[in-house]
C-alpha cells in the first residue's frame, strides 16, 4: 500500500487576484455523477452512477443512485453515529461513516475528507481549512489519497470544482479511483 503525506508543497493555496473569494459552506447540497473503479478478485470493476450530497454542520446524508436513477444506498452521519441503508438489507450502523463504508464495501471511500474536498478545501493536522487554488489540474496529496481538480465551474461571484479525480492504492481493492462530476452546487 502506498502512503501519501498530508499536504503537498506544490499545491497553490492562494486564489489569484482576479479569482472570486471562496468560503467553506457548512450547509450545502451537491448533486453529481460518480464513477468508482477498483479491483475485485484481480479483475477490474467499474461502478458508474450519481449521488446526492446533503451536508449540514452536524449531519450528512449521501444517496447513491444507479445509472437508471434507482437508489442503491443511503448513508447518514450524525453526532450519534453512521448508518447505511441498502434495498432489501438490514440497516448497518457504526460509530463513523468511513469505518461503516470500509466494513460494508471491503474498501474505503473518503467521505470525511469529501466534506472538505468537494468544496476544494484541505485541512492541516490542526484541523484548519485552507482553500485550494481554482486552477485546472490543481493536485493535492492528503489522507492517503491523490486528488486532482480537473476543471472548475464559475458562476458569477462563485467558483467551485466541476470535476475531481481521486486515487489511492489499497490492499483490498488494488488501484482505487473515483471520478466525481458536480452538476449542481447549492449552498444553503
pLDDT tens track for 21-50: 688 999 999 999 999 998 888 899 899 999
- Whole-model pTM? 0.85
What secondary structure letter does DSSP report for 171?
A: T
* In the predicted structure, residue 19 carries a pLDDT above the cut 60: no
Given a contact cutoff of 8 angstroms between Cβ atoms, the answer to whether 97 and 85 are in contact is no
* In the predicted structure, residue 85 carries a pLDDT above the cut 90: yes
- For residue 57, give the C-alpha cell: 454542520
Alpha helices in 57-177 (DSSP H): 97-105, 111-117
Length of the chain: 188
Lowest mean pLDDT, pick from 54-58, 102-106, 138-142: 102-106
Amino acid at each position: 500500500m502506498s502512503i501519501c503525506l498530508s499536504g503537498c508543497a506544490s499545491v497553490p493555496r492562494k486564489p489569484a487576484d482576479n479569482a472570486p473569494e471562496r468560503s467553506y459552506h457548512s450547509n450545502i447540497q451537491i448533486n453529481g455523477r460518480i464513477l468508482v473503479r477498483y479491483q475485485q478478485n484481480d479483475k477490474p470493476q467499474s461502478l458508474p452512477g450519481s449521488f446526492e450530497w446533503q451536508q449540514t454542520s452536524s449531519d450528512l446524508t449521501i444517496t447513491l443512485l444507479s445509472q437508471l436513477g434507482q437508489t442503491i444506498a443511503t448513508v447518514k452521519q450524525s453526532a450519534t453515529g453512521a448508518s447505511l441503508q441498502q434495498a432489501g438489507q438490514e440497516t448497518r450502523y457504526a460509530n463513523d461513516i468511513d469505518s461503516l463504508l470500509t466494513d460494508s464495501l471491503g474498501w474505503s471511500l473518503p467521505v470525511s475528507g469529501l466534506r472538505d474536498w468537494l468544496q476544494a478545501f484541505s485541512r492541516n493536522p490542526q484541523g484548519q481549512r485552507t482553500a485550494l487554488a481554482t486552477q485546472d489540474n490543481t493536485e493535492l496529496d492528503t489522507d492517503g489519497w491523490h486528488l486532482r481538480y480537473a476543471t472548475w465551474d464559475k458562476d458569477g461571484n462563485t467558483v467551485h470544482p466541476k470535476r475531481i479525480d481521486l486515487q489511492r492504492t489499497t490492499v483490498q481493492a488494488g488501484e482505487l479511483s473515483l471520478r466525481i462530476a458536480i452538476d449542481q452546487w447549492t449552498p444553503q
